[in-house]
Amino acid sequence: MMVYSNNTVAFIKTRPLKTLLSPLVLALGLSACQTTELPPPTNAAISQFATDIQAAAVTDVTIMNHCSALGGPTGSYAEAVRESWQFSNQELLAAAERWLNSTRADQVTINALPYSLTAIADVHDLSISANESLNLAGRNPNGQKYVCNRELMRIETDTYAELSDPRTSSALSQQAESLAELETGVADILTRWAHWPKPGRSYISLVESVRAQCPTQSRIITLENNWPHERYAQYCDAVPVGLHQCEWGACSVLLTEPPER
């Protein structure tokens, strides 16, 4: 226990209260004034958030589509979840897709509609991965119901706003307000290519012809195989190169500009 001398006690009693409080008040005032503002989210952070939203949407829509196709109570539940999902995420997904589209210059026209070749590749890979994870074809009816109910409950509960902090979410929404609306998003790609076709007759010769342009990381995704009509998307090092359209084995290419960095 600290013991004060009589002189110390007398000094404290006689010292003005204002003098004692002044340093404390000054310190509190300085602390309040020194509060620093956080910098706004960077474009890189917004882009990553938009990419995460798009990836989540492809996975979720793929699951809802396949579970809906089962019909019965599971199919009805999938459609109910789709309505809830749209209400919770549609605006943020639209903002994400507008933002990503503004960073790309890789659109091609297919049947009078514009499509991003980057978005097509992303949807292709993510939808196949989601379908393989569901593995409905390899499950019995009880297993199909179980895995669909589990995934649908997750979709019903989660929101895309949770994929980042509120400041980044707000920044994405604000930035997207001035950007052009999309005619075709990931949901449209999934609807058009509900089942990705296998390569057609022109595939092998097309692979050989593009190898000289991109000898190591060339990739071709089949978009249409309805002989004599075929359509393929070409990529080099993950960068869209062009859209190959083939008639009776004779192919022409519609080149695209690479995505903006």
pLDDT in tens, 40-87: 899 999 999 999 999 999 999 999 999 999 999 999 999 999 999 999
Distances 174 to 54, 91, 169 between C-alpha atoms, Å: 18, 12, 9
Q: Given a cut of 70, is residue 194 above it in pLDDT?
A: yes
pLDDT at 259: 40
Distance CA 44, CA 24 (A): 43
Q: Given a cut of 70, is residue 201 above it in pLDDT?
A: yes
DSSP string, the chain: -----HHHHHHHHHS-HHHHHHHHHHHHHHHHHTPPPPPPPPHHHHHHHHHHHHHHHHHHHHHHHHHHTT-HHHHHHHHHHHHHHHHHHHHHHHHHHHHHHHT---EEEETTEEEEHHHHHHHHHHHHHHHHHH-GGGS-HHHHHHHHHHHHHHHHH--GGGGS-HHHHHHHHHHHTTSPPPSS-HHHHHHHTSSPPPP-TTHHHHHHHHTTT-SSSEEEEEEEEETTEEEEEEEETTEEEEEEEEETTEEEEEE-PPPP-
Distance CA 23, CA 206 (A): 80
Mean of the per-residue pLDDT values of the chain: 86
CA angle 260, 255, 217 (to 5 degrees): 75
Q: What is the pTM of this model?
A: 0.81
- Residue of 205, 203, 209 lying closest to 224 (CA atoms): 203
Q: Given a cut of 50, is residue 14 above it in pLDDT?
A: no
How many residues are present in the chain?
261
Q: Given a cut of 80, is residue 6 above it in pLDDT?
A: no
Distances 238 to 120, 157, 252 between C-alpha atoms, Å: 12, 33, 21
What percent of the chain stands above pLDDT 70?
85
Neighbours of 197 (CB within 10 A): 14
The pLDDT tens digits of the residues spanning 112-159 come to: 898 999 999 999 999 999 999 999 999 999 999 999 999 999 999 999
Question: Are the CB atoms for 54 and 97 separated by under 8 Å?
Answer: yes
